[in-house]
Amino acid sequence: MQLHGLLDALPLWALFVATFAIAWLSFEGGFLIGKRRSRKSEREREVVGGGLVEGMMGLAAFMLAFTFGAAATHFDARRQAVLDEAKAIRTAYMRADLLPEPYRAEIRNLLREYVDVRLESVRSGKIEEAIARSEELQNRLWLQATTSSEKASNPAFAEQFIQPLNEIIALHTRHVIVGLEFRIPNIIWIVLYVITALASASIGYHSGLTGSRRPLVAMAVILAFSTVIFLIEDLDRPKGGFLKISNRALADLQMKMNAQIR
Amino acid sequence: MRLYGLLDSVPFIAIFAISLVIAWLSFEGGFRIGLRRSQRQDHEQEVVVRSEVGAILGLVTFILALTFWIATFHFDSVRQAKLNEANAIRTAFLRADLLPEPHRAEIQDLLREYVNIRLDAARSGNLEYAISRSEELQRSLWSQAVAASSKVSSPIFGGYFIQSLNEVIALHSRRLTVGLEFRIPSGIWIVLFMIMSLAILAIGCHAGLTGARRPLVVIAFVVTFSMVMTLIADLDSPRRGALRVSHKAMVDLQNMMNAPNH
C-alpha cells in the first residue's frame, strides 16, 4: 500500500508531468540506441517496421484501455454506494414513524447526525474520524431499535425499521471498503508504466533506425498515453481530482430532514 | 489437465522466466528458418509475410488483452464476494440480538468462530479444514436458529434471523465457487502460450527473411508480453503473489464482534 500513499500524496498534475517525462525519456533513449544501430544495419528497419512496434503499441493501448475500464467501474461503484446509502437512510428515517416515542425522536436525531457526519467528512477530508463516529452512531441506533422492538405495539412495525437499519450498516461497510480498497493494485501500475516506457522506447528506436525524426507525431502519441494514464489515476482516487463523486443525494436528504424539524 | 493447479505451485518470477524463454526460443527458431529461406525467396515474399505477421500479432494482442480483462473481472468478483459475505455475517450477528437467551449468546459465539476460521484460513492457507469447519458451524447455527424461532416472542424476528442466516450460507458457497472455480481454464493458458510463441516465431521468420541482424526491439517486445502473462497469472490467483484480496472487511467485522458492547 506504500505506492498508493505515494501516488495519492502527489498532486495530479505532477503525476501527469512525471508520466510524460518517463515516456519522453524512454523515447529519446530508444532514439539514441536506434541511431547508433542504424549505421551498422540497414535492413533492420524493415523488420522493426514489420509489426514489432505496432504489436507493442497495440498491447500497451489495450492494457491501458482495460485498466481504464476497471477504474471507471470502481468509480461507478463508489457513486452507487453514496446513492444506495442515501436511499436506505431516507427509508429508515421515514419508518421511524412506526416506532413509539421516545425512540422515534431519538432515532431521528441519530440519523440526522449520521448524515451530517458524512457530509462534514467530505468537506473536511477527515475520513478516519468520520468512520469511527458513524460506527458509534450505528451502535446507538441499533440499541434504540432493539429496545424499541420489545416495547412496540406490533413487532412487525419494529421489523420494518430494523430492515433498513441493517441495510444502512451493511452499506456503510461497502462504502468504506469500496472507497479504500477497490483501487488499481500497485503491481498493475508498475506494469502499466513499464509497458508504456518500453513502447515509447521502441517508437524512438524505430525512428532512430530510419533516421526520420518526427518529434511532433511522437509527442502526440506520448501525450495521448500520458493523458489516459492521468485519467485512470484521477478515476482511481477516492477523493479529489477533477472527477469527484457527487454527494447530492445525501445533501438533498439533509435538507429534507432539516425542513421537517422546523 | 488441471494446468492452473500446475501454475499454482510455480512462483510468479518463474512464470515470467518461462514466458521469456519460450518467447526467445520462438524468435530464434523463426529467425533461423527465415534466414535459411532468405536466399531462395524474392522480395515479394517479404511483403506478404509482413502482412501476415501483422495479422497474427493483432490476434495475439486481442486475446491477451481480453484474458487480462477476464482475470481482472475474476479478481473483482472475489473481492465482491468477500465483502458481501462479511456484510451478511454482520447482519446475522446483529439480528441475533432479537432472539431470546440462551440462543442469542450461543449464535453470536458461533458466528465469532465462523469469522475467526475465515481469517485463520486466509493467514495459514489451510482451506480444507476451514471449509469443513465452516459447514459444521453452519449446521449448528441452523439448529440454534430453528430452536430459537419457536421460542421467540414474535415469529417475525425468528423469520428474519433465519433469512439472514440463509444468506450467510448461500454466500459461503458462492465465495467458494468464485474463489476456487472462477479461474482461467488450462485450455486458455495452453492457447495463450501457443499463439504467443507462434506470433513471435512469425516475427522471427520475417526478420530472418529480410536478412537483417536480430532487431533490438525484440527484447522490449518479449519482456512486455511476458510481463502481461505474469500479471494475468497473478490476477488469476487471488490468494498469492503481489495481487491479493484484502481482508479488511472481515477484520473490521471481527473487531466489531469483539467490541465490549457486544
Alpha helices (runs of H) in B96-212, residue ranges in sequence order: 103-124, 127-151, 155-176, 186-210
From chain B, the residues in CB contact with A49 under 8 A are: 50
Contact B167, B91 (CB under 8 A): yes
pTM for this predicted structure: 0.83
Q: What is the pLDDT along chain A (262 residues), one digit of tens a residue?
A: 445 556 677 778 888 899 999 998 998 898 888 888 776 655 566 556 557 788 888 888 988 999 999 899 888 888 888 889 899 999 988 888 888 888 888 888 899 899 988 888 877 777 788 888 888 898 888 888 888 877 766 777 778 888 889 889 988 888 888 877 788 888 888 899 999 999 988 888 888 887 776 678 888 888 999 999 989 988 888 765 566 677 788 888 888 888 876 5
| Helix/strand/coil for B213 | coil
By Cβ distance, the residue of A43, A58, A173 closest to B249 is A173
pLDDT digits (tens, 9 = 90+) for B177-190: 887 777 888 888 88
Q: Average pLDDT, stretch B68-91?
A: 89
Residue of chain B nearest A65, judged by CA positions: B65
From chain B, the residues in CB contact with A47 under 8 A are: 203, 206-207, 210, 212, 215
With left for phi above 0 and alpha for psi between -120 and 50, is residue A104 left, alpha or beta? alpha
From chain A, the residues in CB contact with B234 under 8 A are: 187
Q: Do B210 and A180 touch (CB under 8 A)?
A: no
By Cβ distance, the residue of A49, A69, A174 closest to B87 is A174
Residue A197 has what pLDDT? 92
Contact B220, A201 (CB under 8 A): yes
From chain B, the residues in CB contact with A131 under 8 A are: none
Q: Do B61 and A44 touch (CB under 8 A)?
A: no
Q: Do B246 and A174 touch (CB under 8 A)?
A: no
Q: Do B54 and A185 touch (CB under 8 A)?
A: no
C-alpha cell at B126: 489451510
Residue A2 has what pLDDT? 47
Note if the bond before B102 is cis, omega within 30 degrees. Answer: yes
From chain A, the residues in CB contact with B222 under 8 A are: none
Distance from CA of A258 to the nearest CA of B (A): 29
Q: How far is CA A21 from the centre of its chain?
A: 24
Q: Do A40 and B213 touch (CB under 8 A)?
A: yes
| Crossing angle (nearest 10°) for helices B248-258 and B43-95 | 10
List the one residue out of B79, B89, B177, B254 whose CA is nearest residue A77.
Answer: B79
Residue of chain A nearest B228, judged by CA positions: A191
List the one residue out of B169, B153, B1, B211 whose CA is nearest residue B84.
Answer: B169
By Cβ distance, the residue of B49, B57, B87 closest to A173 is B87
User: What's the rounded Cα separation, in Å, for the pair B192 and A117?
Assistant: 51
User: What's the rounded Cα separation, in Å, for the pair A13 and B200?
Assistant: 38
User: What's the rounded Cα separation, in Å, for the pair A176 and B248?
Assistant: 10
Q: Do A173 and B86 touch (CB under 8 A)?
A: yes
Residue of chain B nearest A50, judged by CA positions: B50
> Which residues contact residue A44 at a Cβ distance below 8 angstroms, ignoring those fewer than 6 apart?
A37, A38, A209, B212, B213, B215
Q: Which residue type, as a one-letter code, is found at position A26?
A: S
Residue A25 has what pLDDT? 92
Give the residue from A47, A74, A75, A169 with the most B CB atoms within 10 Å of its CB, the best one to mutate: A47
Distance from CA of A14 to the nearest CA of B (A): 26
From chain A, the residues in CB contact with B83 under 8 A are: 173-174, 177-178
User: What's the rounded Cα separation, in Å, for the pair B193 and B25?
Assistant: 12
Residue B37 has what pLDDT? 77
Number of Cβ within a 10 Å radius of residue B215 = 31
Per-residue pLDDT at B2 exceeds 80: no
> Which residues contact residue A59 at a Cβ distance below 8 angstroms, ignoring those fewer than 6 apart?
A195, A199, B61, B64, B65, B224, B225, B228
Contact A195, A66 (CB under 8 A): no
Distance from CA of B213 to the nearest CA of A (A): 6
C-alpha cell at B104: 442469542
Its ipTM equals 0.81
pLDDT digits (tens, 9 = 90+) for B150-172: 777 677 777 788 888 898 989 98
What mean pLDDT is reported for chain B?
A: 83
Q: Do A156 and B53 touch (CB under 8 A)?
A: no
Give the residue from A40, A52, A196 with the most B CB atoms within 10 Å of its CB, the best one to mutate: A52
Residue A219 has what pLDDT? 86
From chain B, the residues in CB contact with A174 under 8 A are: 83, 87
Element housing B238 (H / E): none
